[in-house]
Structure 1
Amino acid sequence: MTDATTELTAEQIVDYGMPVGLAMSPDGRLVAYAVRNTRKGEPPIRSLWVAAADGSSAPRRIKANPAPISSLRWAPDSQSLICMLGGKLHRIGLDGGEAGAAGEPLTAWGGAISDQWPLADGRTVAVAAEDEPTEEDERREAERDDARVWGEREPLSRLRLLDLDTGVLRLVDGLAHRHVVDAAQRPDGGPLAVLTWNSPDLDPGLYNAELHLVDPLTGAVQDLGAVGADAGSPAWWSVDGAWHVAYLAVAPPGLVEGRAVLDVTVPAAGVAPAAHSNLTAGMAVCPTSLVQIADGPPLALFADGLDTAVHRLDPVERRFQRLSGLDGLALSLTASRSGATVAVVATTAYAPRDIHAGPPAGPLLRLSDTRPELRRITWGKQERLSWKAADGLALDGLLILPPGRSRADGPFPLVALVHGGPYDRYADELMLNPVISGQWLATGGCAVFMPNPRGSEGRGADFAATVVGAVGEDEWTDIVSGIDLLVAEGVADPERLGIAGWSHGGFMAAWAVGQTDRFKAALMGAGISDWGVQTALGEWGLQDSALGGSSGWEGPGPHRHDRLSPVSYASRIRTPVLIVHGEEDTNVPFGQAVLFHRALRYYGVDHQLVAYPREGHIIHERNHQLDLLRRSREWFDRRLGAGTG
């Protein structure tokens, strides 16, 4: 840690700059990235930066824009960037000016563009774009004659090819019935590998994905079959003269068992493709990024326990081999065309997210410095933990102690902060989330326990699959065993325990208080109280049904999800519960919070329901973030005696 003299404030958590996009130039010289800056009284500003990949010069800002910057990619010649600015497709020169008509989008297309992929010829961009509105569409909207038949007139993002010289988009007719979600061109300028859904809605689209090849000259389409759920990041590679397409997805037939790298050999035209193979089967790590390399096999990032690792596919063995390890969390792997240089967004226990670059075998050099003000903060000491579950399974997680304190100063009031997902993880990163922050709670005087129970990312697909149809069971006892260890070691005061979480972590907090009265306070953030309701109304539908064990339409019940729903145990609850939720949440609908609130009110349980207007599953507005941070810490302070101010 660096010298530090300042106590963390809520404003320092919500007023921040953070890298939100990353792209390595094909020639490996430059890394482009976007930064989102938030400040009091100002709308968020997105700025576009370019840094020398070898660190030979300081990063420079080439454009600032209040509109979102997304889909950031380089032109093939490494001389300009193509990206979405406020929903319009732009090309930006390295001097910050438009490489074309000044300030104008690259096309006047009237339909929404969701993503884009520059092609090797330098004159064409593949785009995923909705149809332009017709006069009839405009009339219906103007007159509110807009009855919607589900499954009809869906806003599909169809594959189109944009001619940069004319601005004209040409529809790929063979995929006009599919919703495009990702694509990659073969490195030699050949066909595109395109991943599609049958619908733009997560359910059913996410679970009905297919892989296709598209000839950019003729528009001819070759189908390579169905792929697993949550498919993305197609990457071409070749061995012994045969081309392959690899991609990230959940290995079929599963829906929530963690992502794998799947692969298919490209057959000759008219020949049926072989079965897709799992290149990561049996690995005790989890792939998070997959990147195509022009003259070699793909590179990948893997979540590896509390850390991250860079791997390369061995084309002969068809297995991934570790090249280097990165402490903490690394995300968004990008690479030069040759694969000699890579870049990631990385963070460690006391360092915020920044851009790092270097050879894939390491070391990686930090290029950006987006939050220098944090070097003045006195952080709570962050420790790595390992323990055994009740059945002997090895587990890991983190412990944050109050700033300036050591284990010898315990026991402390302790909050177990459970991550979402459940397929997510705590890496050994700076815990500075504007929703529920580990360092923020520690600054208030609590020790904070951040476990990775079974079902988490980073320990392989088998570890992740253990919670399917069994949420709240063994993953709950995994958390309890970690708390018990901290009590036995004198870190946690058994009379001052709390539990909190967001999304799946919010479910776990609600579940916990129905299983035991040992917690003196709980926070349920955007959590699930009833898995049947979640299957019916949540965005993820079938995935939630798989987690909860049933859907409710199998028969009159009782259903398995009833046994796994926190609201079923409301009559047992004695712990005070703070329920917080965004009113516009479509991932976990706000009704989940209302249902739990009504059950607790019925049984006279001390609780509070806080609704955030205009917010979805994640809380974005500055004042709402400040309220949530302060409210959450005050809630635990008052009930655990943490001494917060």
Structure 2
Amino acid sequence: MKTFSLVLTSLAIAISGMAHGAEIDAKYIQRIGSVNQVSAAPLSKSAHADALRANLVAQLSQANHASKVTVFNQPLSWQAASTKVEGEGWLVYQVTMSTDRFTQGTLTVKGLENPQVYLNGQLVKSADKVELELTNGDYHLVVLADGQAQDSEFSLDWQGKSEVDNLDFTSQKTQRVSAEQLFDSKVISGLTLSPNGKYLLQSTIEYQASQGDTPIQVTELRKLSDNSVMYRWQDNRPSSAVWSSDSSQLVFVANKKIQLLNVADLSINVVATDMDNVSGLQWLGGTVLFSWEKPFKADEKATSKRFQALEDRWSYWRNNSQLYQVDVASGFIRQLTDNKVSSSLLDSNADKGKLLLTRSPVDYAQPAHGVTQLIELTLADLSETMMGEYRSFNSALYADDGMYITAGPRFMDGRGIQDPNLEVNDYDGQLYWRDAKGNVSALSKEFDPSIGSITKLENDDLIVTVTEGDRAPLYLFDKSKKHFNRIDTGVDMIDGFSVAIEQSTPTLVFAGTSATAPQKAYKMKVNSSRKQLLFDSQQLSYANTRLGKIEDFDFTNTHGHNIDGRVYLPADFDARKKYPALVYYYGGTSPVGRHFTGRWPFNLWAAQGYVVYVVQPNGATGYGQAFSGRHVNAWGKYSADDIIEGTKAFLNAYPSVDAKRVGNMGASYGGFMTMYLATKTDIFAASMSHAGISNLSSYWGHGWWGYGYSGVASRGSFPWNNPELYIEQSPLYHADKITTPLLLIHGNADTNVPVGESHYMYTALKLLGKEVELVEFNDQDHHINTRQARFDWWNTTMAWFDMKLKDEPQWWNSIYPETKEE
């Protein structure tokens, strides 16, 4: 559902106080019509009446800032609703309204034939009385009717459910951001640029209320010079698409086939059929390499399962994936690897006829309780050479005289560690060089940002994604100078990018966002700051949206560490007022990035009247190895102090925040932090933990990845050799110290942090007589991703804080009426 705003040129200053039932003054309402449109049947009599109305309202909503609208060459003008209706035909009325709290009531439409009530472009009900439940936000109300009723005056009446259910009418030309905008708006989900920089494969995703949880996904082949569309897929979209080295062909998987698009004439040829579970395509001369997975088929008659390893809890672990090669000209396919352990392709070298691949056999001998084998395969005889076995390894790429490797600081016996006297975090990615003789050197030891992915250019320089504080920029690594240069993209967070690797001065295309800036996509030269806009979500979906300001807020903790943070202010912030606040953190091994939207919508919370403080406590990557190393064997020891200190500093710096109305929340490790903080402080008036860990031992032994993550976060520590860590840092063992009202949210299909982690804490607090709520989301895993579930999750969270921090329980009681006191 899209949220639209409108201009009401005749509106005066905002009014409110309509809870006891009143007719909405006609000066706040605009009308088009009557419109006697020549048609075989009127709107209400058409065989597709609902669709005709929906399309009409959608178009009128999008055009509501225009004084005139043209329908079948007939100019129509918005006019005051108080003017006399002339002639017969359909009518449409519009009014904007807003509320600063959850509001319930009845809208009554009088004097119209067959009224249809739409809210923000979506049909609410076809009736003259409509029940509305409005969350804190701005709304565009449209009433479409077949005509004016005889002997009856038109009016819109509002009857609030109680004295607090007021509506305001405003002349604002912009609206606060909505949940629907943040989730539904079209964004770029994939970019693949041809090596010569002429062609771009671009994928987008968006949602519409009428489609529910099913996204609308489109992939287009575009000519980069003018951004024109050459070819378009919506059904059977291409996956694993990759360009040939001469940019003349694009190979991809679609409809269980490997297909080849020839750019010259846009013809498509099928290279191979019956290609189910194929991925990871790479060109190698006139052939294509790919991974082909064979799913494990369980015995349907079996009544039990004997686990073969800790990994066997993973639903996909018994599947086996191996490497294959298809000759594009003949379609002949040969198998390149055959192993009980899946083989993963990293890179290929056509000149030397070599492939780089990895395997991960079961090996728990050392933390993080897994091992990666780096293997080189010779295509001539399919012989394999083991290049090494590593417990801290991410990826590798061939270069002319060696290879690049990304791995943790402990790679090659700690080759990447800055200071051997300090603990390091294995998730803090580093860049290495392995020469032709096998000698390895660290390239990023003195580079604080954490290395992510690497893309090699023709001259062996790299485009590198990094985590740098709470930002995710791109860097160019100059091989000859062994130097990192930040690329001036102008955005905080890179969502995706692609580069023309064969140009002397490569062209870069990328999509990204900033904390208060929706997604944009640009093209630019790697060595320049000049950019050309390719895609703008701001204009598509947020042109009439107003956002609050964001301010950086750092402080120095008692240990002398700089703790990064940022503050979001409400859209209509007034420093003379007192606001409730929300404090958000992760506390785990990565910072909270400056994404515009996502699962944690800071801009939405600010739009709903909260000052939002995002703090980056010790333990996060992107701030240097010493900072990230404080994550290891800590489990809240440093992070909790940083969050408490930071919250106090934030309150001192922002007198407009009511210190008695501050809430806190986090998810996963941040959910653990929320529960842990509740045992350490009463600075917060209400808390929410999503998918949090309450018992370190149970998460370590039961979560699908618990043993592996604990191999980093609790490196070398186990319940038998360090019980103090597993007990003293587990919130469950200190539940009796909790005094803060706590909301626990969990997906009941969570495999990462099993739902029992919230149940343990819920049971403890219930038995202790503490204030606690537990809300499970059915069939949801660690992340709540489906559209309606996401909205329900956001609403549950904000209804909880409205109840506890604003003394407004109505929203919570509407969602969960069984909790209402009789």
Q: Amino acid of the residue matched to residue 446 of structure 2?
A: G
- Aligned pairs (5 A) from 1:60-99: 62-65=232-235, 70-85=239-254, 89-92=258-261, 99=268
User: Structure 1 residue 75: deviation in Å?
Assistant: 3.1
Q: Deviations over 1:355-379 (max 9, x none)?
A: 3321223324332234611222221
TM-score by length of 2: 0.69
Equivalents in 1 of 2:752, 2:324: separation in Å?
Answer: 30
> Match of 2:820?
none
User: Structure 1 residue 446: deviation in Å?
Assistant: 0.7
Misfit runs of 4+, over 6 Å: 95-98, 203-206, 642-645
Contact 1:255 1:543 in 2 (8 A): no
User: Structure 1 residue 405: deviation in Å?
Assistant: 0.7
- Aligned pairs (5 A) from 1:187-202: 188=351, 190-198=353-361
Residue 392, structure 1, aligned to residue 563, structure 2: no
> Match of 1:270?
none
Query: Aligned match of 1:227 in 385, 390, 408?
Result: 390
Query: Aligned match of 2:533 in 366, 371, 374?
Result: 366
Contact 2:367 2:712 in 1 (8 A): no
Equivalents in 2 of 1:87, 1:509: separation in Å?
Answer: 45
Structure-2 change in CA distance of 1:628 and 1:574 (3 Å): same
Equivalents in 2 of 1:4, 1:21: separation in Å?
Answer: 34
Q: Deviations over 1:159-184 (max 9, x none)?
A: 222333455543324x6244234412
Structure-2 change in CA distance of 1:346 and 1:280 (3 Å): same
- Aligned pairs (5 A) from 1:127-142: 127-131=290-294, 137=297, 141-142=299-300
User: Structure 1 residue 144: deviation in Å?
Assistant: 4.4
SS, match of residue 518 in structure 1: coil
Query: Aligned match of 2:220 in 34, 49, 54?
Result: 49
Q: Amino acid of the residue matched to residue 551 of structure 2?
A: E
Q: Deviations over 1:530-551 (max 9, x none)?
A: 1111111123223224324666
Equivalents in 2 of 1:215, 1:564: separation in Å?
Answer: 50
User: Structure 1 residue 319: deviation in Å?
Assistant: 4.3
User: Structure 1 residue 30: deviation in Å?
Assistant: 2.5
Structure-2 change in CA distance of 1:417 and 1:354 (3 Å): same
Q: Deviations over 1:419-460 (max 9, x none)?
A: 36x222234441x22x33111211111101111222223212
User: Structure 1 residue 495: deviation in Å?
Assistant: 0.7
> Match of 1:412?
579
Identical residues among aligned pairs (%): 20
Q: Deviations over 1:546-595 (max 9, x none)?
A: 3246664425x633122221212211111111111111111111111211
User: Structure 1 residue 154: deviation in Å?
Assistant: 2.8
Q: Amino acid of the residue matched to residue 237 of structure 1?
A: A
Structure-2 change in CA distance of 1:485 and 1:622 (3 Å): same
Equivalents in 2 of 1:377, 1:28: separation in Å?
Answer: 35
Query: Aligned match of 2:308 in 150, 153, 157?
Result: 150
Contact 1:308 1:330 in 2 (8 A): yes
Q: Which residues of structure 2 form unaligned runs of 5+?
A: 6-171, 415-423, 812-822
Contact 1:581 1:611 in 2 (8 A): yes
> Match of 1:522?
687
> Match of 1:476?
640
Equivalents in 1 of 2:715, 2:295: separation in Å?
Answer: 41
Decide which structure has the larger Cα Rg and report it: 2
Q: Amino acid of the residue matched to residue 174 of structure 2?
A: T
Residue 247, structure 1, aligned to residue 410, structure 2: no
Equivalents in 2 of 1:298, 1:87: separation in Å?
Answer: 33
Q: Amino acid of the residue matched to residue 351 of structure 1?
A: A
Q: Which residues of structure 1 form unaligned runs of 5+?
A: 268-272
Residue 558, structure 1, aligned to residue 723, structure 2: yes
Query: Aligned match of 1:444 in 590, 597, 608?
Result: 608
SS, match of residue 272 in structure 2: coil
Q: Whose relative contact order is higher, 1 or 2, with alpha carbons under 8 Å and at least 6 apart? A: 1
Residue 350, structure 1, aligned to residue 520, structure 2: no
Contact 1:401 1:446 in 2 (8 A): yes
> Match of 1:487?
651
Equivalents in 2 of 1:642, 1:428: separation in Å?
Answer: 30
Structure-2 change in CA distance of 1:145 and 1:576 (3 Å): closer
Contact 2:679 2:735 in 1 (8 A): yes
Structure-2 change in CA distance of 1:195 and 1:278 (3 Å): farther
Q: Deviations over 1:214-261 (max 9, x none)?
A: 2334323222212353613x22223xxx22233355643666441112
Q: Amino acid of the residue matched to residue 542 of structure 1?
A: G
Equivalents in 2 of 1:290, 1:392: separation in Å?
Answer: 34
User: Structure 1 residue 88: deviation in Å?
Assistant: 6.0
Equivalents in 2 of 1:207, 1:60: separation in Å?
Answer: 46
Equivalents in 2 of 1:608, 1:90: separation in Å?
Answer: 52
Contact 1:570 1:599 in 2 (8 A): yes
> Match of 1:278?
442
Figure out how many residues of one structure are paired with residues of the other and give that number.
614
Q: RMSD of the TM alignment (CA)? A: 3.2
Range with greater deviation from structure 2 (308-317 or 18-27):
308-317
Q: Amino acid of the residue matched to residue 500 of structure 2?
A: S
Equivalents in 2 of 1:600, 1:288: separation in Å?
Answer: 41
Equivalents in 2 of 1:370, 1:198: separation in Å?
Answer: 44
Q: Amino acid of the residue matched to residue 684 of structure 2?
A: F
Contact 2:586 2:667 in 1 (8 A): yes
Residue 590, structure 1, aligned to residue 749, structure 2: no
Equivalents in 2 of 1:204, 1:179: separation in Å?
Answer: 21
> Match of 1:176?
339
Equivalents in 1 of 2:535, 2:343: separation in Å?
Answer: 33
Q: Amino acid of the residue matched to residue 399 of structure 1?
A: V
Structure-2 change in CA distance of 1:328 and 1:322 (3 Å): closer
Residue 287, structure 1, aligned to residue 287, structure 2: no
Equivalents in 2 of 1:397, 1:59: separation in Å?
Answer: 42
Equivalents in 2 of 1:116, 1:200: separation in Å?
Answer: 26
SS, match of residue 229 in structure 1: coil
